């Protein structure tokens, strides 16, 4: 009957097209039952729209997201029926139709440009029904095309169908390409691989990169133990490398890889590919992609985490110490930045700096070193904790490797083999690689705050100060060894390792999605459609474990049923500690744009069932949108719907997602594990730095944080810095020490150093931020106020007006100094015994570059100068930015290059950055905003002046621009 009905509808449509539409001016129809156009204007009529949707790529099987509005842009609710692979029947009720009435039909699909058509409805001859038709030929976005093209090119060269397995590695996501973030490139890879590559299989790795980094790709196939790669650079679909990437490659082959893709990419691609080939767990590979590559430190951090959780597992969730409302973790990490293990433990424990989970700067003068990591398992109810310090047995493991294999470590090829060897040790007995240095209990509150610091006084219930505000001392081993605390007792329970297959874990996601569909249908009468851009699935999957196994395979199960995935911003894995429960929250955005109907469920591994909770009114699906959050009674009810202490995480990210944030914002919220106003200054600060203090060749950023809160996570994620890279350090200072001296009402967030490895000097700045002024009237709860602030900052960052914004945020860089290496080291040590990092920087003399670098060829500059600084005098402000600036900018390569290997001696030589033979000089960046022309000849000083004037002018007329 459905086919017959479709034939009738299509026949009628063809009759309308062939006979011609009747104009609204002359609507009389011959035949039929009288003059059918003589309809009472208040009567509801059921028009039918036939919409045909064709995609630029014929194999794209995407259910299009279709929206209808009337001529006044009011949303129209309709029923949607699929008549064929490309045709959809839209039926709805609308009052007072006449021939020629217009409706707007909007079609969206992931990876494609949104299209809108005005569709006219008319009656046909004797048929009283109103019909309209709209053909849509959807055009792929430039970034989606690139993803499809590189995948097709790699498939042609590598033949995915005959390979044992396939891996894709890309920098796409946050980096800007073609005027937008580049997640559509990932969508193109996924859709173009015919199921060979997916998030849930763990064979798609997204390297953490900044907005100004290039978009690169590597595709690797496994045949036996051999690995072959095809690589692409700088947003091009023309391969630059095709050949082996195995750890067994010869020196000449390694050097060829470096020359083709650049040193940084060579080691990133090769280390990840060979670890994948060696069977590294998917979550370890994702953490390594976050860090930038697989190395001994990355693997050691994984081993340290497993050992910690085995012998000192979380007892209960506590929220002691400074931080945001989302600061719920049993562990605090004390590190010495510079070894990759810091990134790993921070990642696996969700102990991020922005949630006060990590404190670390150079405390080597106390006996600590970068291979050590300290942990505090704190209980805020008893105000006591355990203090554990571990060390990865770096030298012992390297010596054992050399003894067992006969391979001398000293070059990148040997390091690749060492990574494989150490991964094998972890799979059998990870704690054998780790040494416990300190295992103490009975840590007091005073000792806890001495190590972690506190920006404000800690008071008792009467307001009496019990712990004064003080700076962080971090992993101070002299202090720790002086405490004489009693020995802690290790747990005796053993962890198990599950044996579930990929398909079995995937089915957990399938069942969850199908259960969600059933509940939404039963409770609200809503059919959840596949590929719906208004449906988001939030989850702990991918971070948490089931019986010792990672859970990312459930992502593929969710995608198969609902079409939700990260590259579409509809599957949102929230950063969680790996011991947390596996849960999903299905969030449907209403047609009003503010309702968020949400269903929560937690997986019970013992019964293999889902626990679905409901509120006091018995509803399983509940609104968590702004209206619900502004009702305290409803907020109290909602907190019972989410029994795992994650209501704040879920509703904050769901409401942020509701406002369509940019991809870089969204993934930062996910990394931070919640959305909040506090994380958002990092967006503006990062853009400000890229625009006003861009990197040149041989330069890199290091940031020493002083005012530490949620924004530090966004700085880490978006500025390309991290503790494991040695480029993010923090030493929390008391609030009164970070009040800005030059930006009234602002806060001195930290010290930014641009280090020039060629000149061996640095350019240091104090970065300050002043919050926007917002009108919070009409908000009755803290949850509603927080949601409104998040929405306002998203609008400001995206250049959208927001009625609550009364004054824009301001970012400045002041107190510029050119510093020596010894002064740089002092900054990383938190200053001197008598000064903090901020005080120490200000105590340094104001110098010109020629004071530190010999004059070359009579030039006074002798090399690079502080970018965008103008004057370097004390207290001067460079490029003060309201919201975001509009400067063009440039950036050189960031991080280290790979090392070329001599076939004769197997010694390591560092390739010069920018040397054509290394391939690094080809690295380019997306530096221009939409609507501007890229120019390689304009002086940066001109850019800074134009950008500053543009910011001031735009701020004066009330426009907000995102600095992307």
User: Which string of b and e fits 104-131 if b means at least 16 CB within 10 Å?
Assistant: bbebbbbbbeebeeebbbbbbeeeebbb
Query: How would you classify residue 760: left for phi > 0, otherwise alpha for psi between -120 and 50, otherwise beta?
Result: left
Distance, CA of 808 to chain centre: 25
Q: What are the percentages of helix, strand and coil residues in the chain, rounded to 5?
A: 35, 25, 45
Q: Is the pLDDT of residue 921 over 70?
A: no
Q: How far apart are CA 84 and CA 603, in angstroms?
A: 37
Task: Please tell me the least confidently modeled range out of 756-760, 856-860, 921-925.
Answer: 921-925
What pLDDT is attached to residue 615? 86
Return phi, psi of residue 878, to 5°. Answer: -105, 125
Contact call for residues 421 and 294 (beta carbons, < 8 A): no
Instruction: Count CB atoms within 10 A of the CB of residue 874.
Output: 14
Terminal Cα-to-Cα distance of the chain (whole angstroms): 53
pLDDT in tens, 351-377: 999 999 999 999 999 999 999 999 999
Task: Provide φ and ψ at 751, rounded to 5°.
Answer: -110, 125
User: Which uninterrupted H or E stretch holds 223?
Assistant: strand 217-223
Question: What's the average model confidence in pLDDT over 807-834?
Answer: 96
**DSSP secondary-structure letter at 257?**
H
Query: Distance between CA 76 and CA 85 in Å, rounded?
Result: 24
Tokens describing residue 793 = 């900052």
Is there a contact between 473 and 479 (Cβ–Cβ < 8 Å)? yes
Handedness of CA 144, 150, 156, 162 (dihedral sign): negative
Q: What is the dihedral of CA 635, 639, 640, 646, to 10 degrees?
A: 160
Tell me what pLDDT residue 617 has: 86
Task: List the one residue out of 293, 290, 159 whose CA is nearest residue 219.
Answer: 159
**Whole-number percent of the chain with pLDDT over 70:** 82
pLDDT at 328 (0 to 100) = 53
Counting beta carbons within 10 angstroms of the beta carbon of residue 415, is it exposed (0 to 12), middle (13 to 18) or buried (19 or more)? buried
Average pLDDT over every residue of 652-675: 97
Structural Rg of the chain based on CA atoms: 29
Strand order in the sheet with 204-206: 204-206, 165-170, 217-223, 226-232, 241-244
Which of the four pLDDT bands, split at 50, 70 and 90, describes residue 9?
very low
Q: Which of 100, 101, 105, 75 is nearest to 89 (CA)?
A: 105
Would you state the pLDDT for residue 855?
60
C-alpha 14: how far from chain center:
49
Cα gap 555→509, rounded to integer Å: 6
- Per-residue b/e over 12-42, b at no fewer than 16 CB within 10 Å? bbeebeeeebbeeeebebeeeeeebbebeee
Residue 158: which residues within 8 A CB-CB, separation 6 or more?
166, 219, 221, 228, 230
Q: Is the dihedral of CA 734, 735, 736, 741 positive or negative?
A: positive
Tokens of 935: 């120019």
Q: Is 225 or 187 the better-scoring residue by pLDDT? A: 187
Q: What is the pLDDT of residue 430?
A: 78
E strand map for 304-432? 331-335, 358-360, 372-379, 384-392
pLDDT of 554: 98
Residue 596 confidence (pLDDT) above 80? yes
Other residues' Cβ atoms within 10 Å of the Cβ of residue 811? 28
Phi-psi region at 111: left, alpha or beta (left = phi > 0; alpha = psi -120 to 50)? left
Lowest mean pLDDT among 344-348, 669-673, 954-958: 954-958
* Model confidence at 749: pLDDT above 90: yes
pLDDT at residue 39 greater than cutoff 70: no
* pLDDT confidence band for 955 (50 / 70 / 90): very low
* 163 backbone dihedrals φ, ψ, rounded to 5°: -85, 155
Residue whose token pair is 């890889």: 257
pLDDT of residue 942: 36
Per-residue pLDDT band at 88 (split at 50, 70, 90): very high
Distance of CA 69 to the CA centre of its chain: 33
Q: Which residues is 228 bridged to in the sheet?
A: 221, 244
Q: Is 329 a residue whose pLDDT tops 70?
A: no
Alpha carbon 202 to chain centroid distance?
A: 17
Q: What is the mean pLDDT of residues 581-591?
A: 96
Cα(600)–Cα(590) distance, rounded to whole angstroms? 17
- Distance CA(470)–CA(450), nearest Å, equals 7
Average pLDDT for 562-572: 98
Phi, psi of 214 (to 5 degrees): -75, 160
Report whether 645 contacts 945 (CB < 8 A).
Answer: no
Lowest mean pLDDT among 222-231, 374-383, 458-467, 513-522: 374-383
The first and second tokens of residue 702, run together, are: 């290091």
CA distance 545 to 454: 33
- Tokens 């202090």 belong to 479
Residue 780 backbone phi and psi in degrees, to 5: -105, -15
**Are the beta carbons of 128 and 108 closer than 8 angstroms?**
no
Residues 264, 892, 922: CA angle, nearest 5 degrees: 65
How many CA atoms, within 13 angstroms, populate the side-chain half-sphere of residue 495?
Answer: 20
pLDDT of amino acid 5: 40
Phi–psi pair at 390, nearest 5 degrees? -125, 160
Stretch 33-41: mean pLDDT: 33
Q: Per-residue pLDDT for 339 more than 70?
A: yes
Q: Above 70 in pLDDT, residue 608?
A: yes
Both tokens of residue 70?
């009337």
Which residues, other chains included, contact 608 with Cβ-Cβ below 8 Å and sequence gap of 6+? Answer: none
Please give the pLDDT value at position 859.
42
Res. 420: pLDDT tops 90:
yes
The pLDDT-based confidence of 216 (bands split at 50, 70, 90) is very high
Tokens 């900044």 belong to residue = 210
State the pLDDT confidence band at 380, using cuts at 50, 70 and 90. confident
The whole-number pLDDT of residue 871 equals: 35
The residue whose two tokens read 């990394």 is 671
**What's the chain's average pLDDT?**
85
Three state DSSP letters for 474-505: CCCHHHHHHCCCCECCCCCCCCCCCCCCHHHH
**Two tokens at 416?**
């690749």
- Residue 644, classed as helix, strand or coil, is coil
* Lowest model confidence (mean pLDDT) among 173-187, 407-421, 472-486, 916-930: 916-930
| Spatial distance between the Cα atoms of 558 and 549, rounded to a whole number of angstroms | 18
Contacts of 222 (CB under 8 A, 6+ apart): 163, 164, 165, 166, 167, 277
Q: Which of 138, 232, 143, 214 is nearest to 180 (CA)?
A: 143
Distances (CA, A) of 107 to 66, 68, 110, 137, 321: 5, 9, 10, 10, 48
CA 412 to chain centre: 29
Say whether pLDDT at 894 is over 70: no
Nearest to 532 by CA among 567, 571, 564: 564
Inform me whether the pLDDT recorded for 686 exceeds 90. Answer: yes
Residues in the chain: 964
In contact, 308 and 351? CB cutoff 8 Å: no
> Per residue in 232-290, pLDDT tens?
999 999 999 999 999 999 999 999 999 999 999 999 999 999 999 999 999 999 999 99
Which residues, other chains included, contact 693 with Cβ-Cβ below 8 Å and sequence gap of 6+? Answer: 752, 754, 763, 765, 813, 866, 867, 868, 878
């Amino acid at each position: 009957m459905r086919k017959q009905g479709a034939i009738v509808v299509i026949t009628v449509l063809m009759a309308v097209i062939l006979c011609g539409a009747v104009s609204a001016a002359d609507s009389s129809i011959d035949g039929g039952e009288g003059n059918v156009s003589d309809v009472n204007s208040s009567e509801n009529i059921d028009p039918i729209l036939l919409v045909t949707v064709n995609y630029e790529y014929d194999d794209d099987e995407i259910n299009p997201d279709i929206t209808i509005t009337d001529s006044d842009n009011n949303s129209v609710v309709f029923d949607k029926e699929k008549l064929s692979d490309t045709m959809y029947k839209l039926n709805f009720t609308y009052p007072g139709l006449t021939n020629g009435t217009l409706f707007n039909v909007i079609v969206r699909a992931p990876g494609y440009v949104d299209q809108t058509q005005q569709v006219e409805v008319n009656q046909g001859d004797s048929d009283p029904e109103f019909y309209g038709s709209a053909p849509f030929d959807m055009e792929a976005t430039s970034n989606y095309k690139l993803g499809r093209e590189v995948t097709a090119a790699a498939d042609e060269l590598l033949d995915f169908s005959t390979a044992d397995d396939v891996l894709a590695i890309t920098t796409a996501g946050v980096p800007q390409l073609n005027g937008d973030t580049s997640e559509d490139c990932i969508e193109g890879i996924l859709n173009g691989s015919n199921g060979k590559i997916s998030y849930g299989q763990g064979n798609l790795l997204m390297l953490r990169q900044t907005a100004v980094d290039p978009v690169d790709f590597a595709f690797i196939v496994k045949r036996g133990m051999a690995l072959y790669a095809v690589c692409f650079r700088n947003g091009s679909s023309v391969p630059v490398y095709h050949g082996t990437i195995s750890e067994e490659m010869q020196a000449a082959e390694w050097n060829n890889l470096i020359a083709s893709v650049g040193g940084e990419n060579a080691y990133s691609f090769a280390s990840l590919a060979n670890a994948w080939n060696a069977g590294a767990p998917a979550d370890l590979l994702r953490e390594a992609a976050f860090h930038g590559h697989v190395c001994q430190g990355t693997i050691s951090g994984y081993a340290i985490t497993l050992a910690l959780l085995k012998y000192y597992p979380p007892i209960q969730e506590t929220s002691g110490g400074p931080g945001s409302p989302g600061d719920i973790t049993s562990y605090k990490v004390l590190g010495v930045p510079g070894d990759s293990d810091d990134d790993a433990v921070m990642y696996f424990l969700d102990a991020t700096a922005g949630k006060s989970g990590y404190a670390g700067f150079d405390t080597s003068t106390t006996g600590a070193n970068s291979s050590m990591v300290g942990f505090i398992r704190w209980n805020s109810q008893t105000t006591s904790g355990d203090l554990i310090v571990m060390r990865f047995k770096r030298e012992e493991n390297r010596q054992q490797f050399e003894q067992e294999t006969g391979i001398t470590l000293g070059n990148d090829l040997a390091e690749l083999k060492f990574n494989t060897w150490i991964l094998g040790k972890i799979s059998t007995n990870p704690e054998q690689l780790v040494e416990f240095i300190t295992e103490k209990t009975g840590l007091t509150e005073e000792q806890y705050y001495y190590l972690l610091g506190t920006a404000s006084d800690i008071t008792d219930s009467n307001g009496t100060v019990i712990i004064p505000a003080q700076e962080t001392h971090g992993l101070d081993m002299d202090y720790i060894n002086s405490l004489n605390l009693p020995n802690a007792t290790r747990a005796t329970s053993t962890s198990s390792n599950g044996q579930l297959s990929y398909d079995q874990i995937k089915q957990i996601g399938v069942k969850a999605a199908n259960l969600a569909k059933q509940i939404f249908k039963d409770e609200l009468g809503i059919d959840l459609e596949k590929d719906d851009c208004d449906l988001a699935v939030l989850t702990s999957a991918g971070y948490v474990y089931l019986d010792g196994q990672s859970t990312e395979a459930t992502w593929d199960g969710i995608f198969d049923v609902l079409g939700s995935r990260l590259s579409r911003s509809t599957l949102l894995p929230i950063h969680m500690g790996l011991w947390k429960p596996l849960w999903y929250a299905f969030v449907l955005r209403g047609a009003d744009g503010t309702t968020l109907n949400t269903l929560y469920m937690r997986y019970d591994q013992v019964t293999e069932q889902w626990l679905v909770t409901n509120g006091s009114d018995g509803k399983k699906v509940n609104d968590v949108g702004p209206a619900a959050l502004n009702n305290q009674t409803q907020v109290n009810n909602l907190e019972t719907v989410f029994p795992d202490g994650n209501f704040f995480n879920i509703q904050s990210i769901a409401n942020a997602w509701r406002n369509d944030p940019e991809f870089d914002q969204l993934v930062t919220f996910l990394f931070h594990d919640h959305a909040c106003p506090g994380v958002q200054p990092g967006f503006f600060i990062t853009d400000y730095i890229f625009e006003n203090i861009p990197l040149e060749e041989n330069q890199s950023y290091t940031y020493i944080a002083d005012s530490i809160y949620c924004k530090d996570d966004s700085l880490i994620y978006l500025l390309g810095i991290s503790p494991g890279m040695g480029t993010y350090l923090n030493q929390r200072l008391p609030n009164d020490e970070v009040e800005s001296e030059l930006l009234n009402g602002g806060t001195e967030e930290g010290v930014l150093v641009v280090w020039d490895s060629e000149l061996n000097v640095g350019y240091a700045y104090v970065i300050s931020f002043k919050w926007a002024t917002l009108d919070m009237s009409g908000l009755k709860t803290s949850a509603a106020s927080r949601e409104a602030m998040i929405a306002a900052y998203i609008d400001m960052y995206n250049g959208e007006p927001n009625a609550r914004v009364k004054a824009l945020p301001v970012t400045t860089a002041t107190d510029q100094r050119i510093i020596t290496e010894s002064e740089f080291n002092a900054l990383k040590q938190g200053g001197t015994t008598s000064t903090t990092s901020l005080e120490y920087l200000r105590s340094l003399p104001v110098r010109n570059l020629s004071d530190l670098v010999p004059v070359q060829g009579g030039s006074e500059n002798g090399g690079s100068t502080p970018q965008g600084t103008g004057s370097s005098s004390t207290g001067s402000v460079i490029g003060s930015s309201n919201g975001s600036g509009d400067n063009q900018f440039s950036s050189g390569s960031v991080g280290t290059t790979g090392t070329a290997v001599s076939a004769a001696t197997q010694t390591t030589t560092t390739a010069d950055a920018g040397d054509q033979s290394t391939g690094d000089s080809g690295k380019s960046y997306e530096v221009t905003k939409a609507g501007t022309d890229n120019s390689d000849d304009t002086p940066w000083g001109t850019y800074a002046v134009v950008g500053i004037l543009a910011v001031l002018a735009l701020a004066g007329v009330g426009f907000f621009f995102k600095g992307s």
